[in-house]
A and B are shown apart, each in its own frame.
Chain A
Amino acid sequence: MKKVMNYENRMLVILTAVCIIFFTIMKPDFLSVNSFSSIARQIPEIGLFTLAMMLPMLVGGIDLSVIASANLSTILMSMFMAANIEKGEESVPVMLASIVICIAVCTAVGFFNGVIVVKFKIPAMLVTLGMQMVLTGISLGITKGGTLSGYPQSFRFIGNGSILGIPAQFILFILASAVLIVIMQMTSFGTKLQMYGSNQTATGYSGINETALLIKTHMLSGAYVGIAAVIMSSRLNSASAGAAANYLMRTILIAVLGGVDPNGGKGRVSGILWAVVLFQCMATGLNILRVNSYIVIALYGVIILLAVIVRTRKNN
């Protein structure tokens, strides 16, 4: 009765295989340790951002403030570290405290998004659009458009170091994904979330606390933004108001590719994981083939449309 993998995920795996074969034929170098370690280094950030995007999409919303939130939190984190650690010195407690600050800021942003969405009954798209502007505004105001850089060595390990040959951020990503799978599949919160996304009225009648559920969803999403922000900032060794601006579109692309229904209800962590692998193989492959980066941007747009078209066809 139970299948190892559902139809959508199988399609994603097949597409990934096709992708790898195609790029290997075009450029045999693709099948190298280098490209795979580059893929493994890039998957975590975009993957975590997409998981953060998936949560509000499951309840029929979207979060356009994820990148702005990540940038503001890394700027604050960077300022905190700079204020408490002398240049060239290391302090693990301060570093841990700054990571906590980073994740807390993003979670707080999620909290405010959730409160506005649920208390004023405004579409999440508009709330997070406004929030994105506010957050970017604060980041710009603080940094005056500049870039904060230079983290202690121990912090840079998160985004650049390896444990037993596996990139540190990849291990973090696997852990965070596993936690989210457990939350979605095995806790009452996860079940309520999916039920709510499918039919808000019926779950309300069943005694589910809509306010708490939506706020928790946005806060959880915020926490994942925070983890992604730590990894990203560590890898880049900097923080700025305009970092990773092009990630927003990619997270939506991967979420749609991974089978999240933009109208709410449907979507699985596993789908996102396979989709992010497919996406990163493609991105790395196109990079190795030296395809013009703007063509790649256009191609991503085409892929969103194709994913949507295929899904619309299937539902008919």
Chain B
Amino acid sequence: MGINRRDFLKIAGISTLASIGGAAGLTLIKSGAIEAAQYIDDPRALKAKRWGIAIDINKFKTPEDYKRVMNACHTIHNVPEINNPKEEIKWIWTESYEHSFSSQEYANPYIQDHLKKKPFLVLCNHCDNPPCVRVCPTKATYKRESDGIVMMDMHRCIGCRFCMAGCPYGARSFNWRDPRPFIKKLNPEFPTRMKGVVEKCTLCYEKLAIGLKPACVEASNGGMYFGDLSDPNSDIRKVLASHYSIRRKAELGTTPCVFYIIGGQ
């Protein structure tokens, strides 16, 4: 007995429906799926729409002032100390005026001498329009929409270094070798990185999550302000409203969120 076209289509249709339904049913009864509702917010977490940092350069006087801040960051984040400038890893470091504010040479070549001679603390600017995020092919670096932090997901980084080429501030470092042997004292509460990934400042997202300010701000003894740039009543907005401040390479349109307070009140 043969089967006619009409019957064949009926059977094919019904069996397709049955298999789709069965598969859906199986996923429903399959235990173990984790639901988003199982995550809850930590009430201690600091929240903002747009985090920013203001560095009052007048409060950084001795080399120890800079060192204290840099060490605070590098020790808690297991940043290796590699004494080879081609391979070094840095999250926050010092740079000359000329290198930090290259465009200021055109804006005002006759700026005060003491500024030209001063070292400046530099770090990732957590740009509002971050070029590193645009070029990342795996979205390993991305902007947190909730608070504007430019984050790194080390699990996804493939080490292509497009972001390093994209960043106009040199805020990113590549791990040319296994960093572990170069870390003097491991902080067991924070991961290290591995060979072949790019890393940078993450604005201490892990500290913000438990209600603490970034390590550099804590260690700066009031030399750095941290707060919500979208809130006109925040400390950082008040300090920026009353002091003259500049940003690094703002003309590039990346909208950096690290400010340098130059003038007094």
A, B in one complex: no
- A-side residues, CB < 8 A to B, are none
- B-side residues, CB < 8 A to A, are none
